[in-house]
Each structure stands twice: as C-alpha cells, then as structure tokens.
C-alpha cells in the first residue's frame, strides 16, 4: 500500500509540469495586450509600458517565458500579479475561504445526502422515497445561480436568518453559501446512495445475513451500507477536488473572497503567473483527492488490494 | 480611466439572468438603522476591488481613487461644482508667465505617521511617479514638466527597455525651502493649478520611499482618514479619523469601512438590509425601483463621464466631414438614453461635459436629429450606401444594446445597413484602435482627471495625443484646433482660457472626428444610518463630509 501511494504521488510531478505548461501556453495564446488594457481610455506612458512588459517577461517567446517561470518556481517564487502582489499571498489569503466553503458543502452533501439516500433505499416506493425523488429532481433542475439569489433574498434579506454576504461571522457565514453550493451534489449523492442501497438490499449476502438472524440494524449499517458507499465515495471525493477549485458563482453572490474569484479575475486580466499558480494547485488537489478515494476503496472493500 | 466600472459591468453581464431576481427585492424590512450604527460613528461603503496597491501615483481608476482620496489631501481640493478651492496643503500656486509656478504650502500639515508635509514630500513623490522604472500608471501627468523625458528609460523599436533613465529627478522641480517649491513646465499652461488636485500630485512621506511595496499595503497619507490596517484584497480596508488633520474639511465620522464586493447586486441587497451604508452605484435593473424604495436616500448627480463614437479618419470612407456630420444628425440620442439606459445617462449636446466650467448647452450643431439634412449631406459627400457600416465596440461591457440602437437608427434614417463588430475584449480592442485597425465608427468613453475644459480636448483630439502616446484614436489632426487649445493653455485668465477652449470645441464639432453621445449620471443609495452623502463630479463620495446618525 505504501509503495502504491508513493508511486502515485511521484506520478503527479510530470502531470503537474505538463498541466502547468498547457495552462501557460493557453494564457499566452489569449489574444490582446494585457498591459495596454491596464491603461484603459488613456494609454500608459510608453516607457512605463516597456518597463511592465520587461518585468513580466512579456516580450519573450513562450518557451523562454515558461522556463523563466519554472526557474523562479524552483526558488519558491510563484511570481506576482500585475499589481505587484505575490501569487503565493493571493493563494494564502484566498485558499482558507475556499477550504471552509468546501468543508461546509461536503459535510452537508455527504451527511444529508447519504442519510436521505439510505432511508429512501431501504424503504423503496414509500412516501419518504417519493419525497426524496421529487425534491432532488427539483433541486438538480434549478441553476445554482438562481438558487443562490433566492436563498440570499429569502433567508438573508427577508428572514434575516443568515448574513447576506461576507465572511465576518466565521463559520456561520459559510452555512448558507455552503448549502447552496452543496444542493446539486446533495441531490446526486442521495440518488446514488438510494439506488446503490436498494440494489444491495436484494443481494444474496444480505439475504444470508438476514437468514443468520442478524438484527436489521446490523444488516443495513454493517453490510449494505458499507458496500453501497463505494460509488458515493468516488463521487464525493471527486467533488472535493472540484470544489477546492473555487465556486465562482457562489463566491460572487455571497461575496466570499475565495479562489474562484481570483482565478476568474486573473484569466480576464491575462495574468499568466496567477492563472498557472492557482490552476496547478487545483490540478494537484484533484489528483490528491482521487488518490484518497482509491485508498478508501480498500478500506471499504477488503477484496480490493493495492500492490 | 474608470476601469473598474468596466469590470463591474462585465461581472454584471456574466450573471445577468439572475439580476432580475435580486432587483425585484421590494420593501426594506430587514433594516433597523444598519449594522454600522454603533455609538462610535463609523459607516461602511461599497467599492469594487482597486486595480493597484493604494499608491496615489499608481491609482488612475475609480475604486482605488475613492479610498486614496479619503487617505490623502492634495495641494488643492475641488468644490461641489468642480471649482478649485485652496482648502488643501497649498496656500497659493502662482506664476507670472504660466510656465514657472511657485507653490507655497500651509504650515502644520502632517502625515499619519507624524512627519511633516514639506515641499520635499511633493517633489519626491512626483519624481517617483514620473520615473519610468517605477512603472506608475499616472506617470504621464508629469510629461509637461521640464526634465520628464530624462526620467524615461530608453527603449528599442520593439519596446524593450535598453537602459536606465538619464536622471532620477526632473529638472523642472526645485525645492526652495520647507514650504516652497517651483515647477517649471515645458510650455505655458494656465490650467496647471486646477490639475494638481488629482491623485497623481499627492505627497508621499519619507517612509514610503524606504519600502514602496509595504507602503502600498499600509498607506500613509495626510488626509482626513488614516488606515487602521492593511488593505485586504477581496475584503477591503478600515480607516479611522485622523485627529491631527490640518485642513478645514476634517472628517465628521470616526471611521469608514470600505468593503469590497465582487457583485454590485450583493452590495445593493446589503444596503437594503442595512448591513452596508453607501453604494455609489446601483445595479442597472434596480434603477427604476431604487428611487421609490429609497426616497431621498437615492441620489443622482451628473458625472464627468463622456461617451462618444469616434470615426477612423484614416479610412477613406469617413474622411469627408459631411459623412461624419450626417451620421451624427441621424442619431436620436434621447431615444437611446430613455429606452436603453432608463434615463441613467443624458444625451450629449457638446464635447465639453456639463460638470466643468466652459460647457455650453447645445454647443454641438449636429447633435440634434435632422434626417433630411443628414441625407442631404450624405448625398453631397457621395457616400456609398450599398456597403454596410461596421460599428465597433469592446465586448462584454454592456455596449451591445445601445450600439445596436445606433445601427438601427442609421439604417432607418440613412438607408445604410450596419454590422456589429463587438467581439473584441478591451485588451484586443485598444491595441487595434492604436494600430489604425478599425473600419468604422467605434465607441469610446472618457472620464476627466481634473475639472478643466482642456481635459476634454487636448488629451483626446490634439496632434500631440495621437497613439501610442495619447488617446486620439480618431487620428484627428487639425493645426487650427491645436493652436486654439494652446492659446487657451496660455491665457491669462480663466474666462479668456474658456473662450479659446470653446473655439477649439467649435472647430472640433464642425470637423466631427467624434460624435458626442452621452454624458454620465451617477446613482447612489445610502442607509438611514448616514447623512451628508454627496456624489461629486468625479463620481466619488467625499467621505469627510458624511455624518453618522445615532
């Protein structure tokens, strides 16, 4: 197992290098002159433009720019944005916000989703099962943007239960945006769990367990649930990686200064260093959490072994 | 200028669909005096993310300027009508020949770190901003000071820096004593005292030059408010009243909290709920309901924004001024401001905006609709109507609807088809303008830097302002216009200057390298927690005058 994890981690190095180069090339290929756009209606002084182009290596060809970037990276320097702020600072300041939002969203989607899914799965076609079906269909079909504004309007402005925006009230500030962000995945987790549980409830080993006279609780929790969770864990694990990449819409509506906003602004301003720095980090998260998922398989299902 | 307005519009455009939802938020039930209404007397205000660190010489857009103007006071200040007032650091700014200016400072001004504001504080700051290796956005403001060229690094043809500038100090700046310095310009410019209220001319303390980077995060100014901590990107900055402020316009409130919002809709909802005191911007979809909802807490005032449609005068098709006049005569501006902007912009009838001295109502002869005359002029010029007119604008910034309306009016009134060319981002659009790559009428806008008619003429249409040095994207060049502006710059009195500038404006509006389209109006709303909120002609709130109700 240890060797397997080490090999997988080593494999991330070429993946990250390749990904960062691809992103770098894509930002490079974006049309337009970011320095000219900095000036707006009134152009910057020509010598200032020249200075900025030189500072950000914008006159160099793609290969040289990328090598210079890697050279700085090797010394732990992720570069700066056009306003002179180190990319590392931006990440350090914004990542905690995104992590908190992700934690809240994942907890909500996992706990509520799995509980609803299990209850619906073991009592198929019951009233509760139908409630879960209808409500999840509804939630999945509403775009998150609309959901975010409705939640903000109703629970924030009208009822005053949650702060409308910002991160001033600590974890509580993340509850409403977390719920909105989790809603889509929550519905998916619930349905995935329901199907999986329903299927396993009819499996031979469950019948055997019941025949042995095990109490219903043990059958469901020990045997059915554990087996049913494998697809759910895959989904939730991948979702963590995605959510850590930032949620532009939710962050914008609730004014949370997270990674999503940072990357949106950086792409628009064609800030190569910022885009590459953040996206590479996102790629790493994605790979890492997929590895965690793979390891969890072995925990959930003893038949799976990694050599 | 005004970059962040553009960015705001982009963000807004990207989530347009749901705006409607937030805009229909009805009555204000959640607000009970506002969260900022503690006994301390502080208030909060919306800004968009500033583009740069809070260094005055590198702050040329509206959001950073709002904060910088709370933190700094310049040589002069501007009154509500844009008139220059000597309520700032300068006691007087005088010249006998309009070339060499003597600036005398008042005693007793200090920076927030306790050090005195001296003549050296200004001279050092100006040199720092002008010196090209410092890459300060407002560098060009000093280009008419003697010795500016020596502070610009040499570059080769491809725009690579090839060496160091020849000097680090402009020869035109000389410190006489602690409270006096002289400024020598490259030519006569009577408007000079009016310009120095702008950010670029603010003083900097000695500590700034030791570590400019740190100073950008922890700004130290000489204004009515001082920074309580670092500016946090994505969140904002908290300022408190500077007790030793030497000026007469000291802060009324104990503090102001600038809050960065990524989405204007969210900020607006916060004001409705009382969690935020001031936004000096209202979401487009809320414009029609805001006046009813906020009553006298909804403010609207003219701003310096001037939107125009330029012609590529280098294109043979648009070289005849009669063609340009005809286009202008065929456009019904009022219909567009009513139907598309809900009255949030005013139809332009001059090239100099109403917010400055020197505006003349109806100065533009060809800005009234006159379809017959338009067609007559177009016929005389022999304009080929069979080819479509290409209308250019930058994408994603909310220009599509009104440019399309312009196109429809041209089709209806002149019988020419049109094609919209609005797929370029600002970063592609601007270089194309600079390279003479535009093939039809194009949209641009201008927000003034200082309240002088000169600022609406010389930087936009003079021969000296041809790209890449300036913003004359029409590539208009008329010696008569240049000469009249120069005479205005040399005039001995303001009245005389305005006369020359108006003559220059007449020449411009006869030649019509640009069609004046709209003058801007600023909307703002505030909570019941504050009063004394006023949006000035720069589109900014003078935070020193805001009072907190208890």
Its ipTM equals 0.80
Helix axes A62-74, A2-29, angle to 10 degrees: 140
Distance from CA of A240 to the nearest CA of B (A): 23
pLDDT given for residue B13 in this prediction: 39
Alpha-helical (H) ranges within B171-286 are 192-195, 206-210, 212-217, 264-273
* pTM given for the model: 0.84
Report residue A92 as tokens. 């350090």
Inform me whether the C-beta atom of residue A149 falls under 8 Å from chain B C-beta atoms: yes
* B236-241/B100-105 β-pairing: unpaired
pLDDT digits (tens, 9 = 90+) for B39-92: 459 999 999 988 888 999 998 888 999 999 999 999 999 987 788 899 999 999
Distance from chain centroid for Cα B14: 24
Cβ distance A48 to B136 less than 8 Å, yes or no, reads yes
Comparing alpha-carbon positions, the chain B residue that sits nearest to A94 is B234
Nearest to A158 among B21, B30, B425 (CB): B30
Q: Which residues of B touch A158 (CB under 8 A)?
A: 29-30
Report residue A159 as tokens. 């009822």
Distance from CA of B509 to the nearest CA of A (A): 21
Q: Which residues of B touch A163 (CB under 8 A)?
A: 275
Report residue B390 as tokens. 């290409």
Nearest to B51 among A48, A83, A270 (CB): A83
Average per-residue pLDDT for chain B? 89
pLDDT digits (tens, 9 = 90+) for A152-184: 999 988 898 998 888 888 899 999 999 999 998
Distance from CA of A110 to the nearest CA of B (A): 28
Q: What is the mean pLDDT of residues B343-370?
A: 94
Confidence label for B20 from pLDDT (cuts 50, 70 and 90): very low
Mutation choice for B interface testing from A29, A37, A45, A54 by most B CBs within 10 A: A45
Nearest to A41 among B29, B134, B445 (CB): B445
Domains of chain A: 2-74 (no CATH), 95-300 (1.10.3720.10)
pLDDT of B206 higher than 50? yes
The DSSP result for A149-188, as a single string, is HHHIIIIIIIS--S-SSSSTTGGGGGHHHHHHHHHHHHHH
Distance from chain centroid for Cα B371: 34
pLDDT of B29 higher than 60? no
Q: Which residues of A touch B133 (CB under 8 A)?
A: 51
pLDDT given for residue A307 in this prediction: 62
Comparing alpha-carbon positions, the chain A residue that sits nearest to B154 is A47
Dist. CA B270–CA B283, nearest whole Å = 13
* B180-184/B442-446 β-pairing: unpaired
pLDDT given for residue B40 in this prediction: 56
Comparing alpha-carbon positions, the chain B residue that sits nearest to A159 is B30
pLDDT of B186 higher than 70? yes
User: Is residue B185 classed as helix, strand or coil in its secondary structure?
Assistant: strand
A7 CB-near residues (< 8 Å, 6+ apart): none
Inform me whether the C-beta atom of residue A163 falls under 8 Å from chain B C-beta atoms: yes
Q: What is the DSSP letter of B218?
A: S
pLDDT given for residue A36 in this prediction: 81
Confidence label for B8 from pLDDT (cuts 50, 70 and 90): very low
CB A253 within 8 A of CB A152: yes
A212 CB-near residues (< 8 Å, 6+ apart): none
Report residue B505 as tokens. 């404006």
Bond from prior residue into B40 cis (ω within 30 degrees of 0): no
Q: What is the DSSP letter of B297?
A: G
Choose among B32, B269, B14, B235: nearest CA to A151. B269
The DSSP result for B381-435, as a single string, is HT--TTSPEEEEEETTSS-HHHHHHHHHHHHHHH---EEEEEEE-HHHHHHHHHT
CB B514 within 8 A of CB B352: no
Nearest to B29 among A83, A158, A166 (CB): A158
Binding-face residues of A in 261-300 toward B, CB within 8 A: 261-262, 265, 268, 270
Distance from CA of A126 to the nearest CA of B (A): 36
CB A150 within 8 A of CB B23: no
Mutation choice for A interface testing from B9, B16, B18 by most A CBs within 10 A: B18
Cβ distance A255 to B262 less than 8 Å, yes or no, reads yes
- Considering Cα of B445, then B448, then B454, then B458, what sign does the dihedral take? negative
pLDDT given for residue B182 in this prediction: 97
pLDDT of B477 higher than 50? yes
* B418-424/B442-446 β-pairing: unpaired
């Amino acid at each position: 197992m240890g060797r397997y994890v080490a090999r997988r981690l080593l494999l991330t190095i070429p993946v990250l290098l390749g990904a960062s180069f691809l992103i770098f090339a894509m930002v490079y290929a974006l049309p337009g002159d970011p320095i000219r756009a900095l000036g707006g209606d009134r152009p910057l002084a020509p010598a200032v433009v020249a200075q900025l182009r030189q500072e950000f290596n914008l006159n160099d060809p793609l290969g040289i720019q990328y090598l210079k970037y890697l050279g700085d990276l090797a010394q732990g320097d992720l570069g700066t944005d056009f306003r002179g702020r180190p990319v590392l600072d931006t990440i350090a300041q914004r990542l905690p916000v995104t992590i908190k939002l992700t934690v809240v969203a994942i907890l909500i989607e996992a706990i509520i989703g799995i509980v609803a899914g299990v209850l619906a799965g073991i009592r198929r076609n019951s009233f509760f099962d139908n409630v879960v079906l209808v409500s999840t269909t509804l939630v999945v079909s509403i775009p998150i943007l609309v959901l975010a504004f409705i939640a903000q309007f109703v629970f924030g402005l009208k009822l005053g239960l949650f702060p409308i925006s910002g991160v001033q009230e600590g974890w509580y500030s993340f509850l409403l945006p977390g719920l909105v962000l989790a809603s889509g995945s929550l519905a998916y987790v619930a349905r995935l769990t329901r199907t999986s549980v329903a299927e396993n409830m009819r499996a031979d080993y469950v019948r055997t367990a019941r025949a042995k006279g095990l109490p219903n609780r043990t059958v469901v929790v020990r045997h059915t649930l554990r087996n049913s969770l494998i697809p759910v864990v895959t989904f939730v694990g991948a979702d963590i990686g995605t959510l850590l990449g930032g949620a532009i819409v939710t962050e914008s509506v609730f004014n949370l200064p997270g990674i999503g906003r940072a990357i949106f602004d950086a792409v628009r301003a064609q800030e190569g260093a910022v885009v590459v720095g953040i996206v590479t980090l996102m790629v790493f998260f994605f790979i890492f959490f997929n590895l965690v998922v793979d390891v969890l398989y072995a925990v959930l299902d003893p038949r799976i072994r990694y050599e | 200028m005004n970059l962040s307005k553009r960015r705001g519009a982009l963000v807004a455009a990207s989530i347009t669909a749901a705006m409607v939802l937030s805009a229909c938020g009805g009555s204000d039930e959640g607000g009970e005096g506002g969260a900022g209404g503690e006994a301390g007397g502080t208030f909060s205000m919306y800004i968009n993310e500033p583009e740069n660190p809070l260094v005055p010489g590198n702050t040329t857009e509206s959001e950073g300027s709002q904060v910088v103007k709370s933190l700094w006071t310049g040589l002069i200040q501007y009154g509500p009508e844009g008139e220059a007032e000597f309520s700032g650091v300068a006691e007087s700014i005088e010249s006998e020949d309009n070339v060499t200016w003597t600036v005398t400072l008042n005693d007793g001004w200090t920076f927030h770190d306790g050090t005195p504001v001296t003549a050296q504080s200004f001279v050092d700051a100006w040199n720092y901003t002008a010196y090209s290796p410092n890459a300060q956005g407002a560098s060009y403001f000093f280009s008419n000071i003697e010795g500016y060229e020596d502070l610009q690094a040499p570059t080769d043809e491809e725009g690579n820096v090839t060496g160091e500038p020849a000097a680090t100090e402009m020869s035109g700046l000389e410190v006489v004593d602690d409270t006096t310095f002289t400024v020598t310009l490259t030519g006569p410019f009577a408007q000079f005292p009016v310009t120095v209220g702008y950010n670029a001319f603010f003083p900097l303390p000695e500590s700034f030059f030791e570590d400019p980077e740190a100073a950008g995060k922890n700004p130290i100014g000489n204004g009515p408010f001082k920074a309580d901590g670092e500016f946090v990107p994505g969140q904002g900055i908290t300022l408190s009243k500077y007790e030793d402020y030497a000026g007469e316009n000291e802060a009324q409130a104990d503090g102001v909290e600038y809050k960065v919002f990524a989405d204007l809709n969210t900020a607006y909802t916060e004001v409705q709920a009382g969690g935020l005191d001031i936004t000096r911007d209202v979401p487009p979809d809320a414009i029609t309901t805001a006046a009813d909802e906020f009553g006298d807490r909804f403010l609207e005032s003219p701003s310096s924004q001037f939107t125009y449609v330029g012609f590529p005068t280098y294109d043979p098709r648009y070289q005849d001024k009669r063609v340009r006049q005809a286009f202008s005569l065929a456009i019904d501006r009022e219909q567009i401001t009513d139907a598309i902007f809900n009255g949030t912009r005013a139809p332009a009838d001059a090239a100099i905006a109403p917010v400055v001295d020197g505006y003349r109502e109806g100065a533009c002869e060809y800005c009234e609709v006159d379809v017959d005359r338009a067609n007559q002029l177009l016929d005389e010029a022999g304009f080929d109507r069979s080819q479509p007119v290409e209308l250019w604008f930058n994408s994603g910034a909310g220009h599509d609807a009104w440019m399309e309306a312009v196109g429809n009016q041209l089709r209806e009134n002149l019988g020419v088809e049109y094609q919209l060319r609005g797929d370029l981002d600002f970063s592609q659009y601007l270089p194309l303008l600079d390279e003479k790559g535009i093939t039809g009428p194009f949209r641009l806008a201008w927000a003034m830097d200082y309240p002088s008619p000169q600022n609406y003429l010389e930087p936009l249409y003079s021969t000296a302002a041809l790209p890449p040095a300036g913003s004359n994207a029409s590539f208009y060049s008329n010696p008569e216009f240049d000469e009249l502006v120069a005479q205005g710059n040399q005039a001995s009195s303001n009245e005389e200057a305005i006369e020359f500038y108006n003559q220059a404006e007449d020449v411009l509006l006869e030649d019509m390298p640009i069609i004046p389209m709209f003058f801007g109006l600023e909307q703002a709303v505030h909570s019941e927690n504050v009063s004394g909120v006023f949006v000035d002609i720069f589109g900014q709130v003078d935070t020193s005058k805001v009072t907190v109700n208890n």
